[in-house]
Structure 1
Amino acid sequence: MTALTKAGIGGLLARQGILVAFVVFMIVFAIANPRFIDIDNVSGVIRSSAILGVMALGVTFVVIGGNLDLSVGSMMSFSTIVVLDLHDTLGPTLAIPAMFALTLCLGAFIGFLVGYLRLNSLIVTLGMLSAIHGLTLMWSGGQNMDIADKWGTWFGFFGRGSIAGVPVPILMFALAAVVLSLVLSKTPFGRKVYAVGGNGTAATFSGVPRARVVFMTYIISAACVATAGLMQASRSLGSQNTVGQGMELEVLAAVILGGASLLGGSGTIFKTVIGVLILGFIQNGLLLIGLEFYVQYVVTWVIIILAVWLDVAAKRSRLWSPIA
């Protein structure tokens, strides 16, 4: 193999290491069980991953901006319960925008604390995780929510419907990914997010309104959570008040698996989508292989660590840290 060929392969791995890892996982699981690549199975995995995926798209903005958002799981529970409750009192036409407005208010409050008051995002969102969970229980009275007339409403379209044979949740996930990818990569705001996450002090001295940019990343995250809550409520037409509990860790895992740095300043929407799909297909592949669910947790963790390690190793052209 010539040096030029090696350089080309190395460059490909450095740029798309996580994508290569995704293809490898797909091939391995397809060999282990041919049903893995069945069109119905693939569609089912993407559909079941859409809710997590939409949430991860919003958190990608937050992470690239140099912050964290651990409140998205509780916020998703809140938005799901609220829209289900308001569905029976206001009707779906008014319930959906009302839920979005309330969820955006929560995101704005977090954005104000982190962006304008400069509070630590980990502490703020960890506290809001509990606070929003409490709000959800207060709203629901500690009870689960169900739509009274499940057969006489069009509300199920967002979670159960399809357009031209493609499930609506997949279309919503894809549309959100395309729009937010364009915002992040093609607009001045997107460049400011990268600048703030890369070096907030330098960005401020360069005239970038750091507080406003951070504030808007949390607004975008909240909008994505509200969309995920709508999809969840529409899919089940009912929900437990803890439906989003623990999802913040899965969302963060997908974003980091996609290559976004916890230090901020790097990451893309496309790779976050790949991270979400890796999580979804790993869990599905392990299920088809026949592993018990508790073994799947351990194997999934090992595969995630391996994928991230190979991605980082490809970027620095060595398996081990130069200071190891």
Structure 2
Amino acid sequence: MSELTQEKIGLKSRRREQPVGRFSNLKLGEILARQGILIAFALFLIGFTIANDRFLAPDNIMGVVRSSAILGVMALGVTFVVLSGNLDLSVGSMMSFSTIVVLDLHDKIGPVLAIPAMFAMTMCLGALIGFLVGYLRLNSLIVTLGMLSAIHGLTLTYSGGKNMDIADKEGTWFSVFGQSDLVGIPVPILIFALLASTLGILLAKTPYGRKVYAVGGNGLAATFSGINRSRVVFTCYVLSSFCVATAGLLQASRSLGSQNTVGQGLELEVLAAVILGGASLMGGSGTIFKTVIGVLILGFIQNGLLLVGLQFYAQYIVTWIIIILAVWLDIAAKRGKLWSPIA
């Protein structure tokens, strides 16, 4: 075999080897970018289990899922908002409003009428936000940040600055939503699972769900395709407010009383759970199932921190770190690499 032939063969071999190496590095970067938060969660689980053997006990697991149900119900609705390419920072104060209203109306008109009245009032707030963002095309961050303060003021005005309690806590069936079990499973978990299943089907299997993805992925292209972008955004906020009202019902039923700031700060936790589940802040990417996973990740991490002896306020710092990490991984997944020399 001539030297020229051997050189050609060697050149072809090197050409075959180089793409394999680049492909392996690319795949590793994609795996870390797309599944990095799950890898980090697995490491958290291992660490918490080693630190405290109660972490994976059945009663602790059930307690974490039950306590995460209220946050999870809110996150389901916010998933639709984020998928449409918008944000909703008003859900925390809106949950406080719905909780206070249903507790107040419980003693005035009875739970049968109080529950639908509370849902109607809360969904009117969602419709207002949807109108401002969807039809008037105002910035969702500015609108919902302003509504956060406005609804908080509305809650304080409605309650007169006082906390709410049900007068006859022993003689009401209202506690069934937050305190009862059905076939051994807490009702809040069942409501969370039922709502997640319904909204998951709505998002993944219906024309409306495809419209939400289309609007969030490319609103201009969706409009030219005949999709009414304003209507889709409007309905996403109404749907989000329905989920918030459900969360307020669970919270009120669980404690049969509440402070008027019960939902304060929950908007960041809800957003963190949605992002942890893989929903993109840029819109058009995410699923209900992954949001449920994100809620559970956040719940188990917070529970693990308490079990290892950290104070509850340390959760705020960890939540901030998780949000930064999740946003970074989301952007990294879009560009296919964890690090980039350009923005």
TM-score normalised by length of structure 2 = 0.87
Label 1:101 to 1:270 Cα distance change in 2 as closer, same or farther (>3 A).
same
The Cα offsets for residues 97-147 of structure 1, whole Å up to 9 and x where unpaired, read as 111111111111111111111111111111111111121112111111100
CA distance in 2, matches of 1:114, 1:130: 17
Q: Report the equivalent of 1:197.
A: 216
Aligned length, in residue pairs: 324
Asked if 1:127 corresponds to 2:146, the answer is: yes
Write the letter of the residue equivalent to 1:287.
Answer: L
Distance in 2, matches of 1:314 and 1:54, equals 27
Are the equivalent residues in 2 in contact too, given 1:18–1:311 (CA < 8 A)?
A: no
Partners of 1:320 and 1:225 lie apart in 2 by 37
Amino acid at match of 1:107: G
Question: Is 1:91 the equivalent of 2:110?
Answer: yes
Q: Once the 2 structures are TM-superposed, how far is the Cα of residue 293 of structure 1 from its aligned partner? A: 3.2
Given that residues 15 and 315 in structure 1 are in contact (C-alpha distance below 8 angstroms), is that contact kept between their aligned partners in structure 2?
Answer: no
Amino acid across the alignment from 1:55 = M
Computed over aligned residues only, the root mean square deviation of the Cα atoms, in angstroms, reads 2.4
Match of 2:302 among 280, 283, 301: 283
- Between the aligned partners of 1:274 and 1:80, the Cα distance in structure 2 is 26
Work out which of the residue numbers 151, 160, 183 in structure 2 matches 1:164: 183
Q: Which has the higher mean CA deviation after the structures are superposed, 61-70 or 121-130?
A: 121-130
Shift of 1:220: 0.6
Secondary structure of 2:172's match? coil
What percentage of residue pairs aligned between the two structures are identical?
Answer: 77
Residue 260 of structure 1: how far off its partner (Å): 1.3
1:74 is aligned to 93
Verify the 8 A CA contact 1:17 1:311 in the aligned structure 2. no
Aligned equivalents of 2:54 and 2:264: distance in 1?
31
Shift of 1:315: 6.8
Larger radius of gyration: 2
The residue identity in structure 2 corresponding to 1:130 is S
Contact 2:275 2:326 in 1 (8 A): no
CA distance in 2 between partners of 1:176 and 1:24 (Å): 30
In the alignment, what sits opposite 1:60? 79
Question: In structure 2, do the counterparts of structure 1 residues 82 and 56 end up closer, same or farther at CA, with 3 Å as the change threshold?
Answer: same
Match of 1:117 among 122, 133, 136: 136
* Aligned residues of 2:85 and 2:216 also touching (Cα < 8 A): yes
Q: Per-residue CA shift, 1:217-259, capped at 9, x if unaligned?
A: 0011000000000000000000111111111111111111222
SS in 2 for 1:31: helix
Whichever residue aligns with residue 219 of structure 2, its letter is: G
- TM (norm. structure 1) is 0.92
Is structure 2 residue 295 aligned with structure 1 residue 239? no
- The equivalent residue for 1:31 is 50
SS in 1 for 2:108: helix
Q: Which runs of 4+ in 1 moved over 4 A?
A: 2-17, 306-317
Map of 2:10 onto structure 1? none
Mapped partners of 1:215, 1:296: distance in 2: 33
Q: Which moved more, 1:230-239 or 1:8-17?
A: 8-17
1:17 deviates by 4.5
8 Å contact from structure 1 (residues 21, 307) kept in 2: no
- Conserved 8 A contact 2:103-2:256: yes
Q: Extract unaligned runs of 5+ from structure 1.
A: none
**What is residue 209 of structure 1 aligned with on the other side?**
228
Q: Give the unaligned 5+ runs of structure 2.
A: 1-20
Report 1:255-270 matches (<5 A): 255-270=274-289
Deviations, residues 77-114 of structure 1 (Å, cap 9, x unaligned): 11001100111111111111111111111111111111
Counterpart residue type for residue 231 of structure 1: L
By how many angstroms is 1:37 displaced? 0.2
1:216 CA drift (Å): 0.5
Task: State the secondary structure of the residue aligned to 2:78.
Answer: helix
